Chain A
Amino acid sequence: MRHRNAGFKLGRNTSHRRALLRNLVTSIIVEDRVETTVAKAKAVRPHVEKMITLGKKGDLHSRRQALSFLMTDTAVTRLFETVAPRYGDRQGGYLRIVRTGFQKGDGAEKAFIELLGAEKQLDEKRQKRAEVKAKKREELEKQLEEAKKEQGGEEAA
């Protein structure tokens, strides 16, 4: 029976697990979306929700509680000023986990976990990344062409 066995151990000892979860929660609050394994995503979900509850309360004591768990001050500011106000009338269920595929190497199932209501920011982020990538590619192609021309010229001479 798996009575009284709730929670995830993630193959780590207590301090390692606590550090991992704190890092993940901080990353999710700062970045809106994090790609990880399904087990880790399921393990951090309640911790993120607890942080958002603190953010919705918004008083000094809850801010200090958040500071004691999150890794950076910027994460706390973002939690209280931009993340928590998104969920005014929602009671929990602030996150979405979508399975995306399998990891090379150990075959672990991957997923991303993202904050609800951050779709717009995430889409913009992705678009920006794609633009940067396209630019880099263009420059590289230009360089390749120039190199080719130079080579051709040398052969002719």
Chain B
Amino acid sequence: MPNPKRRHSTRRTALRRSHDFLTATGLSECPVCHEKKLPHRACPKCGEYKGRQVLEVKEAAK
């Protein structure tokens, strides 16, 4: 069976992992309640989308 000939240095590992990272989610602001929300989706906080109430939202959360 083929096996590695040389030990990997920590530097080599770190170099490989230099491209492993997460990017932040792109967020937009709700025009009604100014909460951050995912773009192209109804606002989970106030239930509005494109100027219309589309979801039922608990009063306490408003």
Interface pair A99/B52, CB less than 8 Å apart: no
Task: Give the interface size bracket for A toward B.
Answer: 10 to 19
Q: Which of B5-13, B21-29, B37-45 contacts A (4 or more CB under 8 A)?
A: B37-45
**What is the distance, in angstroms, from A139's C-beta to the closest C-beta of chain B?**
18
A84-116 to B contact mask, C-beta < 8 Å, 1/0: 000000000000001111000000000010000
Chain B: CB-nearest residue to A122: B54
Question: How many residues on chain B are close to A (CB under 8 Å)?
Answer: 11
Chain B contact residues: helix, strand, loop or mixed: loop
Closest to A130 in B: B56
Q: How far is the CA of A99 from the CA of B41 in the complex (A)?
A: 5
Judged by a CB distance under 8 angstroms, whether A119 is at the interface is yes
* Contact call A101/B52, Cβ cutoff below 8 A: no
Once the chains bind, are A112 and B54 in contact (CB under 8 Å)?
yes
How distant is the Cα of A99 from the Cα of B54 in the complex, in angstroms?
Answer: 10
Residues of chain A with a CB closer than 8 A to B33's CB: none
**B32 contacts the other chain (Cβ, under 8 Å)?**
no
A18 interfacial contact with B, CB 8 Å: no
Flag if B44 contacts A101 (CB, 8 Å).
Answer: yes
**Counting CB contacts under 8 A, is A126 at the interface?**
yes
Least CB separation from A126: chain B residue: B56
19 additional A-B residue pairs with CB within 8 Å, beyond A98-B42, A99-B42, A101-B44: A98-B41, A98-B49, A98-B54, A99-B38, A99-B40, A99-B41, A100-B41, A100-B42, A100-B44, A100-B54, A101-B41, A101-B42, A112-B54, A119-B52, A123-B53, A126-B53, A126-B56, A129-B56, A130-B56
Provide a sorted-by-A list of 16 A–B residue pairs whose CB atoms are within 8 angstroms: A98-B41, A98-B42, A98-B49, A98-B54, A99-B40, A99-B42, A100-B41, A100-B55, A101-B41, A101-B42, A101-B44, A123-B53, A126-B53, A126-B56, A129-B56, A130-B56
Q: List the 6 shortest-distance A-B pairs measured between CB atoms, nearest first.
A: A99-B41, A100-B42, A98-B42, A98-B49, A101-B44, A98-B54
